[in-house]
């Protein structure tokens, strides 16, 4: 595994102001510190509202940290030149529905700094890969949910990213789209590239992740290899991931 750090969080916090004057501020992330290595599939786990998606948004400059320091590939958080090395897919991807599939991929390629020639070539390859080559000029407003999910994956891959960031990527996906996501993660690993996977689907985590961070109420509850999390020292044997997570998740419940 490459020793380069693709991302580092150093005592990072994010506080949202309350919606009303008397509402207390919301501490989405509190003093979180960890690093993600190049070449690994890194999982972000935790119950709802634990701070997982907020960490992703902070990493990709979608929102600003309230305090602490974030770096991408050793550069400061505000240096947007490193963002072109990331590909991102969200469970509720909002795509411009008036565009055709090919036009959309070329548009996102331009946003990522890909040359027009390369974007055209990559668009053809990716549309073939996700099974949309015959619908490439059709407005995506006509696409089914499964087709949109596959197109969103192609969009995340258009710039041949060094880091794929998947936020609940298989939520509600059909079997074909799920298989394409799995293939993309495995190919990324084979190329020595990285993946950040945010997921409630524990089967996905068990099959794909090397290390995981477990978030609870905005704080880091566990960081380490998946085998370390599932090892039961008392029984001297491995336990199911669901059982290993139960005490961490239950501590977050009121």
Condensed to tens digits (0 to 9), the pLDDT of residues 115-150 reads: 999 999 999 999 999 999 999 999 999 988 888 888
Q: Which helix (H) or strand (E) holds 106?
A: helix 101-111
Whether 253 shows a pLDDT value over 80: the answer reads: no
User: For the residues 33-38, what does the mean pLDDT come to?
Assistant: 95
Condensed to tens digits (0 to 9), the pLDDT of residues 148-202 reads: 888 999 999 999 999 999 988 766 677 888 888 889 999 999 999 999 999 888 8
| Of the candidates 217, 228, 220, 226, the residue with the CA atom closest to the CA atom of residue 250 | 217
Condensed to tens digits (0 to 9), the pLDDT of residues 231-252 reads: 777 777 788 888 888 888 876 5
5, 82 contact by CB (below 8 A): no
Q: Which helix (H) or strand (E) holds 58?
A: helix 52-59
248, 222 contact by CB (below 8 A): yes
Condensed to tens digits (0 to 9), the pLDDT of residues 67-118 reads: 999 999 999 988 888 998 999 988 777 788 889 999 999 999 998 889 999 9
Take residue 53 and report the two structure tokens written for it.
């998606």
Domain layout of the chain by residue ranges: 5-250
Q: What pTM does this model have?
A: 0.89
5-250 belongs to which CATH class?
alpha beta
Predicted confidence band of residue 20 (pLDDT cuts 50, 70, 90): low
């Amino acid at each position: 595994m490459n020793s380069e750090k693709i991302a580092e969080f150093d005592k990072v916090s994010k506080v949202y102001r309350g919606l009303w004057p008397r509402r207390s501020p919301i501490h989405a992330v509190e003093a979180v510190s960890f690093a993600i290595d190049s070449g690994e599939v890194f999982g972000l786990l935790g119950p709802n509202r634990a701070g997982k998606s907020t960490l992703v948004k902070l990493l990709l400059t979608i929102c600003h940290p309230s305090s602490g320091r974030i770096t991408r590939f050793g550069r400061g958080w505000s240096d947007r030149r490193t963002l072109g090395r990331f590909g991102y897919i969200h469970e509720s991807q909002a795509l411009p529905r008036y565009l055709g599939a090919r036009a959309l991929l070329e548009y996102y390629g331009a946003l990522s700094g890909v040359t027009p020639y390369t974007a055209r070539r990559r668009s053809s390859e990716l549309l073939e890969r996700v099974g949309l080559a015959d619908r490439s000029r059709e407005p995506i407003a006509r696409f089914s949910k499964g087709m949109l999910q596959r197109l969103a994956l192609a969009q995340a891959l258009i710039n041949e990213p060094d880091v794929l960031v998947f936020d609940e990527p298989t939520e509600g996906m059909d079997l074909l789209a799920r298989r394409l996501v799995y293939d993309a993660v495995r190919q990324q690993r084979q190329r020595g590239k990285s993946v950040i996977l945010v997921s409630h689907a524990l089967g996905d985590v068990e099959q794909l992740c090397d290390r995981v961070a477990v978030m609870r109420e905005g704080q880091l509850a566990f960081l380490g290899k998946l085998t370390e999390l599932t090892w039961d020292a008392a029984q001297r044997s491995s336990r199911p991931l669901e059982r290993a997570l139960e005490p961490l998740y239950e501590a977050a419940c009121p």
